[in-house]
Amino acid sequence: MSGPTVTEDAYSRLISLLDGADARYRLIHHAPEGRTDLASRLRGHRLEQAAKCLVIRVGLGKKHRRYVLTVVPGDRRADLDRVRGLYDGTDAAFAARDVAERLAGSVSGSIMPFSFDPGLDLLVDPDLLGHEEIFFNAARLDRSVALRTGDYLRLADPRIEPVADVPLPTAV
């Protein structure tokens, strides 16, 4: 018999953190979905309220690198040059999928805006934080969290820097 998966561990850790800190949140059950735009539709909120979570590898020299969990509004992309500049890096790129999933503790598409690994910095764009609530997959493709932004800031304690590019155009 095998033990819990990494994703189950991350989910349990998140719920324990939220419950233990009396965070104001709601769990949302939905069809499995990892794409931010489609998950936002299933959850019933505006795309800019979604916390899009991307693991970025920043090169710091020949054999040194730093991994950064970069969180931007769902209607935006991460600006890799800005992330690189914040770390005085030589380059920045999306982390290899297996590395990102290992550091985040969940599969791609379900990465949450919390870092429980000391090797993964947490960097959040301030434009996400202008909403009363933020939404994100909770280390599972079929379950999301709607979390009050004030509670998110208190519990995650992220570095806040403008790292998102301009909003993506929307159809009229």
pLDDT one-digit tens code per residue, 45-70? 999 999 999 999 999 988 899 999 99
Q: Each residue of 117-141: pLDDT tens digit?
A: 999 999 999 999 999 999 999 999 9
Q: What is the pLDDT of residue 8?
A: 73
CA distance 12 to 1: 20
Output the pTM of the full model: 0.92
Domains of the chain: 6-160 (3.90.960.10)
Using CA atoms, how far residue 22 sits from 53, 149, 159, in Å, is 24, 13, 22
Confidence band for 5, pLDDT divided at 50, 70 and 90: low
* pLDDT over 70 (residue 105): yes
* pLDDT over 90 (residue 3): no
Q: What is the pLDDT of residue 53?
A: 98
Q: What is the pLDDT of residue 125?
A: 98
Q: Average pLDDT in the 76-87 region?
A: 97
CA distance 101 to 122: 15
Q: Average pLDDT in the 26-33 region?
A: 97
Crossing angle of helices 149-156 and 6-20, rounded to 10°: 110
* pLDDT over 80 (residue 145): yes
* pLDDT over 90 (residue 170): no
Which of 7, 15, 37 has the alpha carbon at shortest distance from 111? 7
Under 8 Å between Cβ of 93 and 85: no
β-sheet bridge partners, residue 34: none
Low-confidence winner among 4-13, 86-95, 136-145 (lowest mean pLDDT):
4-13
pLDDT-above-70 percentage for the chain = 92
Residue 69: phi and psi, rounded to 5, are: -80, 105
Crossing angle of helices 6-20 and 97-104, rounded to 10°: 40
CA distance 70 to 158: 10
